[in-house]
Amino acid sequence: MLNIPGFSQHSTVTSLGKIVYYTADDAPWFDNQTEEKSRPTLVFLHGFGGGSSAYEWSKVYPAFASEYRILAPDLIGWGLSTHLERNYRIEDYLTTITEFLEKTCESPVTVIASSLTAALTIRVAISRPDLCKSLILTTPAGLSDFGENYTRSFFAQLVSTPIIDRFFYDFGVANELGIRNFLEQRQFANPKRVYPEIVSAYLESATQPNAEYSALSFVRGDLCFDLSEYIEQLTVPTAIIWGKKSQFTGPDIGQRLAQMNPTAIRAFQVIEEVGLTPQLELPEVTIGLIRKFLTSELLTSNSAQ
């Protein structure tokens, strides 16, 4: 699915199936394999939505490959990883993200994650702080935060109806027009930033066999939760990036979450004129912010531990 010079596809097996991931193991800037393996690791985790995959971070992580070991997986149910033929649960992702880190990383790493996956990553870091050195998160929200119940929304109820759910996926998601419309109208602040390669990558993931199960589980709200019930338990140093024009959860939600745990959440940065995925919409700005957090003392001191 991804074809970035110097990067290749690998896989590891979790209790729920195979996770495909991408890493730089033949890049021209490496002198040898030993040098690459000795570098600190950055793990990039994509968010959820029709057609999501590791592609979401593909405009960002190559910028760090000369300094860091990069791991960018397709999570279970997305991209080229195993697609279970059943509805997905929150525990599925807490388990497989944990197992992926255990199997691919020998020491605590920096995890860079997006949207609902970023919120799930916070819960992983709470239960297993030994796996995470620091977190850099874009728009981390459980989508049912501060008592809101996403599953009661009209759209979630509609998609919960048998037959209608598959109709919605086949005609509203798993086709070029549906993908483009969602990206332009809901995910990006500026529709002119949606170009054919992005649509093609999302469509390829959305049309994998059984891809509808993970996407519909997300849209129904099966994977949503109230992050405010967990955020105060976080001890891993964390920086948050938020697109000001995120339609699903605005920066006010993020600021409320950050204010609940200022000891762990060291930075909160809003990006103007960006929607849910700044890593795709303005990758150069996202790269700059990630590099700033990685090289500053915000995420390297131990006061939150």
Amino acid letter at 119?
A: A
Count of structural domains within the chain: 1
Strand partners, 111: 43, 135
* Mean pLDDT, residues 144-153: 78
- pTM for the predicted model, two decimal places: 0.94
Q: Give domain status of residue 302, yes or no.
A: no
Q: Give domain status of residue 2, yes or no.
A: no
pLDDT above 90 covers a percentage of the chain that reads 77
Domain, as residue range, for 291: 7-295
Round to whole Å and give the CA distance between 236 and 232: 11
Q: Give domain status of residue 279, yes or no.
A: yes
304 has a pLDDT exceeding 60: no
Q: Give domain status of residue 163, yes or no.
A: yes
Q: Give domain status of residue 51, yes or no.
A: yes
* Mean pLDDT, residues 117-129: 98
Q: Give domain status of residue 304, yes or no.
A: no
- pLDDT (tens digit per residue) in 190-249: 999 999 999 999 999 999 999 999 998 998 889 999 999 999 999 999 999 999 999 889
Q: Give domain status of residue 300, yes or no.
A: no
Confidence grade of residue 305 (pLDDT, cut at 50, 70, 90): very low
Round to whole Å and give the CA distance between 259 and 238: 13
User: How many CB atoms lie under 10 A from the CB of residue 197?
Assistant: 11
* Tokens 């590891």 sit on residue: 12
Confidence grade of residue 174 (pLDDT, cut at 50, 70, 90): confident
Tell me what the pLDDT averaged over the chain comes to: 91
303 has a pLDDT exceeding 60: no
Sign of CA dihedral 279, 80, 14, 95: positive
77 has a pLDDT exceeding 70: yes
**Amino acid 161: pLDDT:** 64
List C-alpha distances in Å: 91 to 96, 112, 197, 224.
Answer: 8, 20, 32, 11
CATH code, 289: 3.40.50.1820
For residue 154, what are its two tokens? 């009209």
- For residue 27, give every residue at least 6 positions away whose Cβ sits within 8 Å of its Cβ, in sequence order, or none: 5, 6, 7, 36, 65, 66
Q: Give domain status of residue 301, yes or no.
A: no
